[in-house]
Structure 1
Amino acid sequence: MLYPIMTTTRNLIDLSGVWRFKLDDGKGIENGYFKDRLYGKVYNMPVPSSFNDLIEDKEVREHVGAVWYEKEFELSKGILNEDRVVLRFGSVTHKAVVFLNGKEICRNKGGFLPFEVVLEKDMLVNRNRLTILVDNTLDNTTLPVGGVKELDNVSKGLEELMIPKVKRHIAYCVDFFNYSGIHRPVKIYTTPKEFIKDITLITDIVEEKGIIDYSVQASFDGDVFVEVIDKEGKNIATATGKNNRIEIENAKLWEPGAAYLYEIKVTLKDGDKILDVYYEKCGVRTVKVEAGKFLINGKPFYFKGFGKHEDSNSNGRGLNEVINRKDFSLMKWIGANSFRTSHYPYSEEIMRLADEEGIVVIDEVPAVGLHVNFMNTYMGIKSSQSTWEVLKTKEQHEKDIRELIKRDKNHPCVVMWCVANETALEEEGSYAYFKPIIDLARGLDAQKRPITLVSHIAYPLNTEEAHKVCAELDVLCFNRYYGWYWGVGEVELVEGVIVKELEMWWEHHKKPMMYTEFGADTVNGLKETTPVIYSEDYQQLYYEVHGRAFDKMEYFIGEQVWNFADFATRYDSIMRVGGNKKGIFTRERKPKMAAYTLKKRWEQIPDFNYKK
């Protein structure tokens, strides 16, 4: 899916700003909220943003179910005269039903990827009313997986104390807050009747030549003219045809920390008549897994970085260009070169910024929570439930993989696809579920990037089912919390455990391995003379010990800390005080002591050839 831009043949309108907002009372559809202007208890709500933290009302913050957004707009005669007028949503969490002037025009399920609908001319009037029903309910068919449960604050056996009963509906989605709303921009763009539908780029490096194989999909079987423009604005290569190869002598490569982007100008013509023009950025680089190494441009790459979240004060998960800029600056300051989009696709704006800044990305679908026995695995308890019989996520999982790869396929920053995080890998049925998912992702990506799936520690660890899934992957990624959830307070003892487990996986699969999560909750400012849990001293020691273990492993290709910054979590859990505190930076983006520990380590580790 092409990102909406303005060109000589395309117009663009951003509907971001203040919308009208109303909680649904369970009867919004029945009462026809979409038929007329929203009325009653209506708030002003900025778009994009999460609605949860923007109104000082517990009912709003904890709302589970439907809400309504409304925006009125007019279109100029110039826009109305365009052949195609398209309404596009960057993301709506997690389900959306879209009404225009009281009539339903589209609906979407999935909270982290764009969707769009063509606005037919007979739908539009002088002043248009756009109404969106947004539903944040999670269940066993959604990604993330979640649910709604009714809580009672009276423990069994204490009824005689006459404590008032309070029943609440709580959405749960593992260990991050279920921020909801219209999280990314809502835009209207236009195209000519005959237009460029999609562009696919595949790059290679042969000797000193940069190779760009391109494919253009268009609605019209006309002529396609392609130009390559360098950073100085010079046209350095041309080609014709919907499918062709372009060779660039002495090409400048896209590399971590040293990004170089060419601009690909695609023109669709009918003879001498220009029908449509679109620009796509292109970074010439290669990605390959070979002999236990992860190669970018043929050189062994070492991942240094973070698991992150789209999360900031007040804004929640809404697009925040200022925070994105700050986060990239902090990543470069600390010596990081990469992050994972845990646990969902991030905004297109973040991906475009990563391209520009030379930050490497592991791109992940929102397949988190696929484990109905997750807590039991912590305690070594065998459950009678089967995750793969209870969950009904396959349809949504395949939809998200298709849409993620379609959206992000041309980004040079994306070097690996992650198809799930911390699933019931050890349970019977996981191979039957994931084999088609992995094959789908592999078949969809023209660049043939490596595929991974992030595993967690489970008991039993060494199951045949888990090994069958791992055999299908290109890189083994581990979330491990030795010294925190296991051996808490005894981090000095876990170095040998880390090495022993990694040796086991290498012996079984002979594949490159990396940690995609490891960390310890830390209260900013808590200092101790001896390292105790929650102190900054303990967090520093934690990363020092892990670094020593990682350096012993020849085929260990990277370390991504959990987490970049403290983030919001569920508010009904006594495990978290004000959110997850495993951040190297506070939620306000201030460094903890461990930031300097990691900075010292990572600045001494080169991006390439650290593990030769």
Structure 2
Amino acid sequence: METIKNFVDNIHNESYKDSYASPCLGTNSYVIPGGRPAQSLDGDWNFSVDMYDNCLRAKWFLEQEVNSEGLRVPLDYGFDDWEEIQVPGVWNLAKPEYFYYEGPVVYSRRFSFKDSTKGHVFLRFGAVSYEARIFLNGTFLGVHKGGSTPFCVEVTEDLKEDNRLIVVADNTRRQDQIPSENTDWFLYGGIYRSVSLLCVPQTYIKDMKVSLSDRKKKEISVSVALGGFEDFKDGEVVFSIPELKVVEVVPLGADGRGQLTVKAGELSLWSPENPKLYEVSLHLRSNNKTQDQVKDRVGFRTVETRGREILLNGEPVFLRGVCLHEETEDHGKAVTKEDIRQAFDWAKKMNCNFLRLAHYPHTEWVSELADEAGLLLWEEIPVYWWIDFANSRTLEDGKNQLTEMMNRDYNRASVIIWSVGNENPDTDERYHFMKELAETAKEFDSSRLVSAACLVDAVNLRISDRLEKHLDIIGFNEYYGWYDPDYGKLADILDGSKPEKPVVISEFGGDGYLASGPEGGKVRGSEEEQKEIYKKQVEMFGKIDYIQGTAPWILFDYRTPKRLGTYQKGYNIKGLVTADRMREKPAFLIMKEYYEEVRKREQTDGDLA
């Protein structure tokens, strides 16, 4: 083959991304923070849009100012001269011209590191949308896919006293990604959760999972995984719950993993009415000294199904819920703890005990704060609408996002449902894809329920989906009264379906626009029409015994480029509260009263029992 004599790699090579395809960072490389001290890298970063992907094409990260002949060459970038942008944050709200931008961008920051301990250092990202390629001091460390889950990469060998960290973040929509090209929410871009450096000793605690395995015996299961275990000699790992006077040594296998079951006789079970949390800790000791330690605050409860019932701590519970997107008008997807607490306050005002987190893993703060607040959670990965179900790489992406979510939130009592997807058509490819995800969830975590938000069989008017046999709870999304105005169909579906498992109405509702003038209430999509939809829906729900929860769509109005009508103006306006979170709509009161009736009925049934 003739050698091309005028080939210029950075302008002629369209396979340039092959050099950045691995290592792929995922669940296996994750290290739990565990309350250990960390060096925050949040704050001002230098930033530039890079729509032609030149940082990767031309290897800007090498910062080569001199060519092979020793001569200075011009640079097409200026990391330290670029504008500054806040991390965590989304670029869409940094400047008006960035609002709709999708594609690659480059983040850069310098930082000092002076840790003298002989151990490991990991770089941790809370989330980067969607693909993130990480470079430290000119070295490519790896790529992470999935815009909503945390990941870690070891940087021990690449750190210096003064460092440059570069992240190429790319939120381009692609068919083989999860989510795919078509969604009904705003696809924010950026490093929108915290970044930090985590220093650990040579042998360290990589993972700790804690759960209540037997409610009646009050037995707690503990699993442990160590990193750097090959260097660990004459040591032990001790698990403790000081309040319960639990102190036990975890037996370790040759692979640095261990399992333990302990009894906690005075254990108080976690529930929405009693969100009791216990401080738990794991100490890694050698030569009578603590080498590493992780802590967590954990609630203990069981969740299961019995026929058509959902049982929390052995007692039936109705999920009085609402759906929630991770977004505020001011922060986009980079929500704060104050934003989350505000959402919780609105949910509790509506008498909710449950939130469906749509349609991707929200920040870990949500489950941590829900543990404290006593709110039950449905967590979901964005296998949304139509994706490339026949693509094995897409399936691996889905499995990784699912296990990263479960790994991060395993210790959270508030999380009771893992959802593997939303509104997918029942094709053979989709069935096998979703079946594998459901089986992955059950294998990874048998202590929780698995669900998916399904579409109805619109031909035969039945709740029917082949995936049901792999689920513990059937999620049922329906918009009768809105997309299909015929409530009679909903009545036929509810009356004619005979599910053997509990059903949660995981979405319903309609637009709610504040119309004015004499014709206001007659405007299609008005708040008055929304109110009537909710009235008719809850009347039907109350007559069906297999419905064990409802989650209207949605708590707050939110941004979406799909909805550009006269009244929508770039927002999905199905919220029960306005996007600024200042005003509840009339339908909010309908749900509040309905949930109050359900709550009183549960109390009465409990008293009679």
Is TM-score (shorter-chain normalized) higher than 0.5? yes
Checking the alignment, whether the CA contact within 8 Å between 2:456 and 2:465 is kept in structure 1 is no
Give the match for residue 465 of structure 2: 467
Give the Å deviation of 1:581.
Answer: 0.4
Aligned mate of 1:32, from 51, 54, 59: 59
- Partner of 2:37 in structure 1? 11
Kindly provide the amino acid, as one letter, of the partner of residue 49 in structure 1. G
- Any residues of structure 2 matched to 1:55-454 within 5 Å, and which? 55-57=95-97, 60-76=98-114, 79-121=115-157, 123-146=158-181, 173-207=182-216, 210-219=218-227, 220=229, 222-230=235-243, 236-242=245-251, 243-370=259-386, 388-389=389-390, 393-425=394-426, 427-447=427-447, 449-454=448-453
Query: Of 530, 534, 539, which residue of structure 1 is paired with 2:525?
Result: 534
Equivalent pair of 2:473/2:503 in contact (CA under 8 Å): yes
Residues 143, 393 of structure 1: 8 Å contact kept: yes
Shift in CA distance, 216/607, structure 1 to aligned 2, threshold 3 Å: farther
Change (3 A) 1:526 1:81: farther
Residue type of the partner of 2:179? P
CA distance in 1, matches of 2:569, 2:188: 17
Alpha-carbon contact 2:462-2:493 (below 8 Å) kept? no
Q: Secondary structure at the match of 2:470?
A: coil
Q: Which amino acid in the other structure matches residue 594 of structure 2?
A: R
The one-letter amino acid paired with 1:144 is: P
Give the TM-score normalised by structure 2: 0.84
* Equivalent residue letter for 1:21: F
Partner residue in 2 for 1:511: 501
Deviates more, 1:412-421 or 1:313-322: 313-322
Separation in 1 of the partners of 2:196 and 2:221? 30
Paired residue type of 2:420: V
- 1:389–1:133 CA distance, 2 compared to 1 (3 A): same
**Matching of residue 53 in structure 1 with residue 114 in structure 2:** no
Q: Deviation per CA, 1:47-96, whole angstroms, max 9, x where unpaired?
A: 11111122021xx22222100111111123xx243511110000100001
Asked if the contact 1:257/1:359 (under 8 Å) is kept, the reply is no
The offset of 1:30, in angstroms, is 2.8
Instruction: Report the more deviating stretch, 542-551 or 195-204.
Output: 195-204
CA distance in 2, matches of 1:391, 1:457: 27
Q: Structure 1 residues 257, 14: CA separation in 2 closer, same or farther (over 3 Å shift)? A: farther
Do the aligned partners of 1:453 and 1:477 also contact (CA within 8 Å) in 2? Answer: yes
Question: Cα offset for 1:514?
Answer: 1.4
Quick check: 2:215–2:302 contact (8 Å CA) kept in 1?
no
- Structure 2 CA distance, aligned partners of 1:578 and 1:434? 31
RMSD value, Cα: 2.5
**CA distances 1:447-477 after superposition (whole Å, capped 9, x unpaired):** 2x2211111245445699x532212211111
- Match of 1:553, as an amino acid? I
Q: Is the 8 A contact 1:475 1:511 kept in 2?
A: yes
The alignment status of 1:587 with 2:582, answered yes or no, reads: no
Q: Which of 483, 492, 495 lines up with 1:500 in the alignment?
A: 492
| Cα deviation, residue 578, structure 1 | 3.0
Residue 40 of structure 1 and its aligned partner are, at CA, apart by: 9.5
Identity of aligned residues (%): 28
Instruction: Measure the CA separation in 2 of the matches of 1:53 and 1:529.
Output: 33
Report if aligned partners of 2:41, 2:196 keep a CA contact under 8 Å in 1.
Answer: yes
Kindly tell me: are residues 608 and 472 of structure 1, through their superposed partners in 2, closer, same or farther at Cα, counting changes over 3 Å? farther
Contact 1:18 1:46 in 2 (8 A): yes
Q: Could you say what secondary structure the match of 1:604 adopts? A: helix
Provide, for residues 185-237 of structure 1, a one-character-per-residue CA deviation record: whole Å limited to 9, x for no partner: 00111111111111122204544x5321112222336312111134xxxx532
- AA aligned to 1:421 is N
The counterpart of 2:483, out of the listed 482, 485, 501, is: 485
Is residue 515–residue 527 contact of structure 2 (8 Å, CA) maintained in 1? yes
Cα shift at 1:17: 1.1
User: Aligned partners of 1:354, 1:327: CA distance in 2, in Å?
Assistant: 11
Residues 428-463 of structure 1: CA distance to partner in whole angstroms, max 9, x if unpaired?
33322222221111111142x221111124544569
Runs (5+) with no aligned partner, structure 1: 147-172, 372-386, 488-492
Deviation at 1:537, TM superposition (A): 1.6
Cα distance change on mapping 1:44 and 1:572 into 2, 3 Å: farther
2:539 aligned to 543, 548, 564, which one?
Answer: 548
Distance, in Å, in 1 between the alignment partners of 2:594 and 2:171 is 41
Distance verdict in 2 for CA 1:520–1:290, change over 3 Å = same
In the alignment, the residues of structure 1 paired with residue 357 and residue 34 of structure 2 have an alpha-carbon distance, to the nearest angstrom, of 24
Q: Secondary structure of the equivalent of 1:52? A: helix
Aligned to 1:570: 561
